Amino acid sequence: MFARSHFVVKLCTEVFSRKASVPQPWPVSLNQKRVRLRFLVPVNTFSTTAFSNSTEAVVSPSQGNSTSQKNKDGFGKNSRKKRQEQNIDSFGTWDSTTDLPLAVQQSIASGKPIPSIYVTSIGVSSMKGRRPTHEDQYGFEQINESFLYFAVFDGHGGADCAKFCANAFPKNLSYWFQQGTDTTTAIHNCFVETNNAFAKWFAHNQKGNETGSSGSTATVCLLQNSVDLYIGHVGDSRAIICRSGEPRKLTQDHVPSLIMEKERIEKSGGRCSQTRVNERLAMTRSIGDLDLKRFGVIAEPEIRTMRIDHSRDAFLVLTTDGINNVMSDKEIVETVKQTNEPQYAATLLTETAFQYSSEDNITSIVIPLGSWGKYSAAATIFHSFGKSMSSSSRFS
């Protein structure tokens, strides 16, 4: 541990002492500057860039049957060449194939390299698929200096609720953080208040004798300082992490077949079959679906927290059921592991699900972590060799 701490402090000291004199052969990018010291040093720690397919988003990718983010930094056209220009701890602390900048303060505090995860390193793809309308929504942005936000919303009964969520969630989270609210409470409040706000919006905008409303799943993630992950979700959109090359599901689908969910619905006067609530809804928690709230369909999220281990965690994936219904968690992770870039990974996921005859809207978000590329077939031999060397007495 002391050796790793000394390694990080020494490198960071060298960066700041040489920063002014080092020539800059690469252009300055959106959030960072490249320095010829075998790793990247961020210049700005906070970017207000936001991505969403909501019509009220700050920045929107091209619209159509399929949409995807065009990354401006970190991964892209020349990413393979860029990854060859830097190498940071190839013995398992942080995978050498990743092209993420170093989070200097977090690295010094932890005694090991911690990468900075930026908005512009995230890959996203969303496809209408075989449905007549597109009801999926997504969003991701840096909502303050500490938190990166990313989320997917799978709408049903129309796109109104999903669009409302995509626009409201980051604003509500920012508000609660400004009030000094702790993270888990902020997430809980955001879900409940977004549902209440949608109810007011629907009451004002409903047409004629319309009683039912559209609804949406919500899988919302906050990554604090590239290390602490918070997940709040309702419905059946999923979050999966690739740890040590294997899928690890971070969310549990809220469906009528779960005993605790079924008991709540029935105590509220609702009916549950194996797959539906009141012969209508395929989930037991959601935003919207206002006519089913009195039957126990709640908007209160299930919240989970975990610490990212960048020496083992390669990427995080958010998916809607257009993918989950036709691909297993293992297939999702293996598909992403085939790729070199998060954007291509997200696109490949949606296209693969479509080829597997998915009949729903299809959306995926891929967030690269410290071990991005470590578990690809090409990297397996190299990392096995590096791990053996690191366990040798010469490196103890």
Q: What angle do CA 325, 361, 323 make, to 5 degrees?
A: 30
pLDDT for position 113: 81
pLDDT for position 66: 58
Task: Please give the share of the chain, as a percent, with pLDDT higher than 90.
Answer: 62
Domain CATH for 20: 3.60.40.10
Region 43-56: mean pLDDT is 53
Looking at the 3D structure of the chain, how many domains does it have?
1
Model confidence at 151, pLDDT cuts 50, 70, 90, reads: very high
The parent domain of residue 234 ranges over 2-395
pLDDT for position 116: 86
Residue 77 has pLDDT above 60, yes or no: no
Residue 292 has pLDDT above 90, yes or no: yes
Extended strands (E) in the chain: 32-35, 39-42, 50-52, 66-68, 123-127, 136-142, 147-156, 215-216, 218-224, 228-234, 238-243, 246-249, 287-288, 302-307, 313-319, 362-368
Model confidence at 378, pLDDT cuts 50, 70, 90, reads: low
Give the pTM.
Answer: 0.76
Looking at per-residue pLDDT, the higher value among 4 and 120 belongs to: 120
Q: What distance in Å separates the CA atoms of residue 125 and residue 366, rounded to the nearest whole number?
A: 9
